[in-house]
Structure 1
Amino acid sequence: MNRMNPLCPQIQNGLVVYVCFFHGATEDVTREMARSLMTTTLFRKDSGHSVSVLDFPGSVLFIHQDSLLGEGLPKRRRESRAGGQLFSALISKCREKMAASEKCRKAGVKVEHGEYGQKQEVSLKSAEPMTLLMEF
């Protein structure tokens, strides 16, 4: 029985992405982010080589992470006011990439997201937790 809220986004095997857009970010950065997130080789296969989330195939869960704002770098200001639009654009671009992958369509993997601007509770179960910071 699933005790989690059925309205909360959930994925099985895949990638969890915490997202924060700095002031001055534009939609152009979402294209680069989507390409990198979906094609960077992060998952180890039994054969010993690494594959991307599209080749794995795996699902992706996006979480808006405004706590990443902290002190930041000198020229990086508070989060962009257009963050919600950028968050939606990023999700849309990743869904397009996943939909274009026959392997992903056959596996039934998906791109899910938490609610932008809302505090979120996250529960992870992983055999190999890994953290990778990507700045764009």
Structure 2
Amino acid sequence: MRALIQRVTEASVTVDNEVCGEIGPGLLVLVCAMHGDDEAAAEQLAAKIAKLRIFKDEAGRMNRSVLDTGGSVLVVSQFTLAADTRSGNRPGFSQAAPPVEGQRLYLHFAEAVRQQGLTVATGRFGADMKVALVNDGPVTIWLDTAQR
């Protein structure tokens, strides 16, 4: 699975002019299931994100996790993280998991983050979403379970 993680002071996702998920301080996680991903990949990614030390400690160093800070996580599906731009000018998305599988793994991932002890809000899989955020830092990190 692929994820783009952004440390935020706040974030929300809106569908059809209705806010369907929002958080205060924490992480916005844009996530994409790839061909061949499974529940174990989703759980591994969730555990890594929950423990990733990218929040400041008392000395101002990035030494605390979202678990340590009591922050929340907004999980938003984003198949465009599978973009292949190696040839031509139009990205290809054939490496993304098929929609039914992608949705299943997206929901499993969100639940796996909850199981880490975090408060989780979500977007709506497959919807045209408007994501608003205030990136804190800015801190933006790319994770891919295939790159172990």
TM-score normalised according to structure 1 size: 0.79
Aligned pairs for 1:19-58 (under 5 A) are 19-49=31-61, 50-58=63-71
Give 1:65's match in structure 2, choosing from 49, 55, 78: 78
Match for residue 4 of structure 2?
A: none
Of 18-27 and 46-55, deviating more is 46-55
CA RMSD of aligned residues (A): 2.1
- Between the aligned partners of 2:83 and 2:68, the Cα distance in structure 1 is 34
Deviation at 1:72, TM superposition (A): 6.1
| 1:119 to partner: Cα distance | 2.0
- Report the AA paired with residue 62 of structure 1: V
Aligned residue for 2:114? 95
Displacement of 1:63 after TM fit? 0.8
SS in 1 for 2:134: coil
2:131 is equivalent to residue 122 of structure 1:
yes
C-alpha separation in 2, matches of 1:46 and 1:127: 16
| Greater RCO (Cα-Cα under 8 Å, separation 6 or more) | 2
Runs of 5+ consecutive residues of structure 1 not aligned to the other structure: 100-109
Letter of the structure 1 residue corresponding to residue 131 of structure 2 = V
What is the one-letter code of the residue matched to 1:79? A
Q: Please, which runs of 5 or more residues in structure 2 have no aligned partner?
A: 1-13, 87-92
* Equivalent position to 1:10, from 8, 22, 29: 22
- Structure number with the higher strand fraction is 2
* Runs of 4+ more than 4 Å apart: none
Instruction: Supply the distance in 1 between the matched residues of 2:104 and 2:34 (Cα, whole angstroms).
Output: 13
% identical aligned pairs: 28
Count of equivalent residues: 121
Q: In structure 2, do the counterparts of structure 1 residues 79 and 7 end up closer, same or farther at CA, with 3 Å as the change threshold?
A: same
